[in-house]
Structure 1
């Protein structure tokens, strides 16, 4: 198996912080320190910039997220706001600016139902926003259980629960209980900042990456599980079932677990992209993941984000401090 570059997308005037595919896999959004979002698509066999959104934020845009329906984008910015963009009349327009965070917003993510949006910030908080009608977003809860900057927030693929990663070295799972958003579990095991999180297709496992240069796999055990993992008074318990170390030379900034192929991609400060695959013969409670391929100089500077195409197996996008977005093909998937 090998990884090869199939496109380089240029145009951003500053580092590219994030990339995210829409649900059809036909459009890719990227966000940058230049305060803009670019939406890319194919014209014939060439990737081109279809749209530029650049009037919503006053500072760098740290993350961009497509809604499940593909008609909306949420952008999280260092200006402490989140903008909601809607493609109502064929063109994206900013329909709402969500305010409340006291410092830089590091990430935003939609729930699978599209009813909720979670945002996280340097102010140590995670906000949950609910949309009651087409253009109205209201805060449904603020969670302050992290003790440091919250770097990442990601919703479960099938349930209205989400995970967050923080500078406090922990991952936390949040769920709704009697109308309140509460911490359902705290995952401890990383020795430094947790930068990125990704759920597997089932939602029973998580991949997390950290400044400690490790990739960890966590598994959810429900009450009464046959493995006799103690859950106490909780509905479930999380256990780290695999730690991959020695593969990354510097901080791992991003991880994405492909729901089509099961491959895990990582983006690293050593300028490399790496692809891992689970050994099908290994135990589900003690799995083995092997490095399938890597591209050691995928970008000229830090790779900040990787994102699998949800509709085309083996297609991966990456974003870098070198101001470029690249698209890759993993052969023999």
Structure 2
């Protein structure tokens, strides 16, 4: 009997951006509390768009278009309560937006160096800290004081090249950064002070990547991490919770997934149900699941499916929705966002 295969079914193509769409981000609360799912997208057309699902038709419609930046908008991130949206741009600014009942209110720009392109922005689980990074090789951590006050608490300078992404651990006060210098750095917060020190560098010597690291994501429990790179590989890392202090570490290489993409793997994201999605410059999306049959010696994850020509040009971002929504969003150089559903074999 032939093995039944999963299918990644395209639900809708979202059009409106006039240039490449760098990144997508699901609101972590919308769709889980009786409100419709909401997706943010940001683009080289200098705008952020907000897409909301119509409960009657299930179609996503653009309900907001925000433009305050003067250059390409590279990254966007929701606070965990779903109220605030932070947006990073190549104009050197990070804008903060507040979700209201009628739309989105622009609060202000974070004060930064206007000459330095900001590559990535990320909220921590508590909503008390925001991290940014950019072309100046540094990582900046901001403390959220109130509506109009974001204070710089730390500027971390350990990377030797541009920092491509910052990502907080899903539960602990640990920041992770990845860079053009081929490394991932781990920055835990010390005691009750706003101090972060680099305790680990995951590099080629530790079975890490051999080229630019573009993306970081965590599983639901936070004891595994997945990264993607220009070296055409995806790496899975694992850590155990330390007895003293309760934090995770050290991080160890568990598996390398290669041979699935043949161009830069720009984005990787781990669903709450344990499926890893990757998007690459080969226009494809791959999905990986935990290998239960044990046939692959030493492997923990295997290819579930590969969707070729997921976009007409490079896939820049993939992101799973909250579990209750059950969708995957992707964006590409073709200027579109696509909404996908994983169909299980019957």
- Specify the TM-score bucket, using the shorter chain as the normaliser: over 0.9
| 1:34 alignment partner in structure 2 | 45
234-243 vs 317-326, greater mean Cα deviation? 234-243
Show the 5 A alignment for 1:3-14. Answer: 3-14=8-19
Give the alignment partner of residue 16 of structure 1, picking from 8, 13, 21. Answer: 21
Give the alignment partner of residue 220 of structure 2, picking from 191, 201, 220. Answer: 201
**Does 2:185 align with 1:185?**
no
| 1:95 alignment partner in structure 2 | 107
Contact 1:251/1:270 (CA < 8 Å) preserved in 2? yes
169-178 vs 71-80, greater mean Cα deviation? 169-178
Provide the C-alpha distance between the structure 1 equivalents of 2:60 and 2:213, rounded to a whole number of angstroms: 33
Give the alignment partner of residue 214 of structure 1, picking from 215, 233, 237. Answer: 233
Partner SS state of residue 183, structure 1:
coil
Partner SS state of residue 180, structure 1:
coil
Unmatched runs of 5 consecutive residues or more in structure 2: 1-5, 32-36
| 2:279 alignment partner in structure 1 | 267
Cα deviations by residue, 1:172-215 (Å, 9 ceiling, x for unpaired): 11112243121121111100000000011111111000000000
Q: How many Å apart are 1:171 and its aligned residue?
A: 0.4
Report the structure, 1 or 2, having the larger strand content.
Answer: 1
Change (3 A) 1:223 1:72: closer
Q: How many Å apart are 1:87 and its aligned residue?
A: 2.3
Cα deviations by residue, 1:1-54 (Å, 9 ceiling, x for unpaired): 110100000000110000000012400000001111110012232211011111
Contact 2:7/2:305 (CA < 8 Å) preserved in 1? yes
Contact 1:142/1:181 (CA < 8 Å) preserved in 2? no
| 1:109 alignment partner in structure 2 | 122
176-185 vs 192-201, greater mean Cα deviation? 176-185
Cα deviations by residue, 1:150-190 (Å, 9 ceiling, x for unpaired): 00111111111111110000001111224312112111110
| 1:238 alignment partner in structure 2 | 251
Contact 2:223/2:248 (CA < 8 Å) preserved in 1? no
Q: How many Å apart are 1:99 and its aligned residue?
A: 2.5
Change (3 A) 1:150 1:48: same
Provide the C-alpha distance between the structure 2 equivalents of 1:32 and 1:21, rounded to a whole number of angstroms: 15
**Does 2:300 align with 1:288?**
yes
**Does 2:7 align with 1:2?**
yes
Q: How many Å apart are 1:133 and its aligned residue?
A: 1.7
| 1:323 alignment partner in structure 2 | 335
154-163 vs 264-273, greater mean Cα deviation? 154-163
Q: How many Å apart are 1:332 and its aligned residue?
A: 1.4
Q: How many Å apart are 1:315 and its aligned residue?
A: 0.9
Contact 1:36/1:61 (CA < 8 Å) preserved in 2? yes
| 2:3 alignment partner in structure 1 | none
Give the alignment partner of residue 175 of structure 1, picking from 169, 183, 188. Answer: 188
Q: How many Å apart are 1:135 and its aligned residue?
A: 2.5
Show the 5 A alignment for 1:54-93. Answer: 54=67, 56-88=68-100, 90-93=102-105
Q: RMSD in angstroms over aligned alpha carbons? A: 2.0
Unmatched runs of 5 consecutive residues or more in structure 1: 226-233
Provide the C-alpha distance between the structure 2 equivalents of 1:73 and 1:282, rounded to a whole number of angstroms: 42
Contact 2:239/2:248 (CA < 8 Å) preserved in 1? no
What count of residue pairs does the alignment treat as equivalent?
Answer: 322
Provide the C-alpha distance between the structure 2 equivalents of 1:310 and 1:29, rounded to a whole number of angstroms: 14
